[in-house]
Amino acid sequence: MRALVSHPPTGGAELREVATPPLPPGGVRVRVAEVGVCGTDQEIVAGRYGRVPDGADHLVLGHENLGTVVERAAGVQELTPGDLVVATVRRGCGACRFCAANRSDFCETGRYTERGIWRADGYLAEEYVETPAYLVKVPPSIRGTAVLVEPLSVVEKATEQGFGVLARMNAPSAAPAASPPAALVAGTGAIGMLASLVLRVRGWRVTAIDRHPSGTPAAGVLGAIGARHVDASAGSQALGSDRFELIVEATGSANLDVSLLDLLGPNGTLVLTGIPDPSAAPSVAMGARLRGLVLENQAVVGSVNANRTHFAAAVADLGRFEALWPGVTSRLIGERRPWEEFGDVFARRTPGLVKSVLVVGAAGDPPSLR
Ligand code: BGC
């Protein structure tokens, strides 16, 4: 079968023939329909991230996946050929208590694998095999946006972390209904946009900042869901004196991570999801910000990956988004390109284009995916 492979730590990407994996006992075979491309994939192709499976010379790319079950091993009950599925990304280390409890997103040893990223082949192939424990069924009603389930799962975990930290204060529930809590989302890529949707659907007032003037697809979607878009290219002054109870960061800029503390309200929580360059040396002053963090009971929490419960939450939320804002979520998918055009998709970044999707599925898949 064909697969899109990279060669970390060198990087690069090439479409080539690889062995079709045999169906394991208790497993299913999935024909891949489409795969989203994210910053992590760009990093792997650029030679800055990723690791090949032990003993292999290449890594099959792709972790934001959607496909159809085409075959199942004897005894598999949970899934049937024809089912639409999304596979989770991380597989546990087999040694720590979190992995033992199916919560490898909190793996303590760091010896996990991640399909398409770290020591395990991904989903940019005509087919893959997997056990049902790592597959989440998707209703056909959200087929058009289901390739966003994986990045949305990351947002589900990150916001759950933020809500959990805020809950530590056991705040009196006397807040007037007319003033819902205010959240800031930093970055309007897929993670930032999906965070805006998740927060809006939970009743938050949302402001999202990026460095683009209005008129981008992202700004259009923010308007459609009742969120405010602010172009912060000239700095955060554009926000006036606003401070926020919850900030979700989705840029990976170390400088911005630190600066966002200026925008955090008393008792507020800053959730970081972007993965900064390890050599970044923030040039912004830390002292006053750390002092403020202490004096105002603030918290900063990092969040990575997601477990199966977050994938299930993502599936449910995509249905909610569609019911509330019909047709809006699909506007986050800026382009669907045949996977043969991967070179073009990896090579460029179009400002305001939220998500590029590579279409793998053979002719015969519904036209809505093309
Ligand atoms: C993926 C996560 C993964 C992280 C770090 C992200 O792009 O969505 O599943 O844990 O990269 O490798």
CATH of the domain at 241: 3.40.50.720
Q: Is 143 exposed, middle or buried (0-12, 13-18, 19+ CB in 10 A)?
A: middle
Q: Could you give phi then psi for residue 327, rounded to 5 degrees?
A: 80, -5
The Cα 269–Cα 267 span in angstroms is: 7
Q: Do 296 and 352 sit in the same domain of this protein?
A: no
The Cα 204–Cα 259 span in angstroms is: 22
> Is the residue at 174 inside a domain?
yes
> Is the residue at 319 inside a domain?
no
Q: Do 86 and 211 sit in the same domain of this protein?
A: no
Q: Do 169 and 50 sit in the same domain of this protein?
A: no
Nearest Cα residue to atom 7 of ligand 1: 40
Contact 44, 59 (CB under 8 A): yes
Q: How many domains are contained in the chain?
A: 2
Q: How far is the CA of 305 from the centre of ligand 1 (A)?
A: 5
Q: Is the dihedral of CA 194, 195, 197, 201 positive or negative?
A: positive
Distance between start and end Cα atoms, the chain = 21
pTM of the complete model: 0.95
> Is the residue at 320 inside a domain?
no
Nearest Cα residue to atom 12 of ligand 1: 117
> Is the residue at 224 inside a domain?
yes
Q: Do 124 and 163 sit in the same domain of this protein?
A: no
State yes or no: cis peptide before 24, omega within 30 of 0. no
Q: What is the CATH number of the domain that holds 27?
A: 3.90.180.10
Contacts of 28 (CB under 8 A, 6+ apart): 69, 71, 72, 73, 76, 79, 85, 129, 130, 131, 132, 135
The Cα 166–Cα 148 span in angstroms is: 27
Q: Residue 10 carries which side chain, given as an amino acid letter? A: T
Is residue 276 classed as helix, strand or coil in its secondary structure?
Answer: coil
Q: Do 293 and 341 sit in the same domain of this protein?
A: no
Q: Which of 302, 321, 349 is the last residue of a domain?
A: 302
> Is the residue at 35 inside a domain?
yes
> Is the residue at 282 inside a domain?
yes
Contact 158, 195 (CB under 8 A): yes
Q: How far is the CA of 170 from the centre of ligand 1 (A)?
A: 31
> Is the residue at 149 inside a domain?
no
Contact 198, 259 (CB under 8 A): no
Q: Which of 41, 65, 117, 191 to mutate to test the pocket of ligand 1 (most atoms within 8 A of CB)?
A: 117
> Residues with Cβ within 6 A of ligand 1?
38, 40, 63, 89-90, 114, 117, 150, 154, 304-305
DSSP string covering 153-172: HHHHHHHHHHHHHHGGG---
Q: Do 79 and 129 sit in the same domain of this protein?
A: yes
Say what angle helices 149-166 and 308-324 make with each other, to 10 degrees: 100
Give residue 225's domain range: 154-302
Between the CA of residue 141 and those of 105, 138, 146, 162, 277, what are the distances in Å? Answer: 28, 8, 9, 30, 39
> Is the residue at 148 inside a domain?
no
Per-position pLDDT tens, the chain of length 370: 999 999 999 999 999 999 999 999 999 999 999 999 999 999 999 999 999 999 999 999 999 999 999 999 999 999 999 999 999 999 999 999 999 999 999 999 999 999 999 999 999 999 999 999 999 999 999 999 999 999 999 999 999 999 999 999 888 776 655 678 999 999 999 999 999 999 999 999 999 999 998 899 999 999 999 999 999 998 888 898 899 999 999 999 999 999 999 999 999 999 999 999 989 887 888 999 999 999 999 999 999 999 999 999 999 999 999 999 999 999 999 999 999 999 999 887 777 789 999 999 954 454 344 3
Contacts of 75 (CB under 8 A, 6+ apart): 26
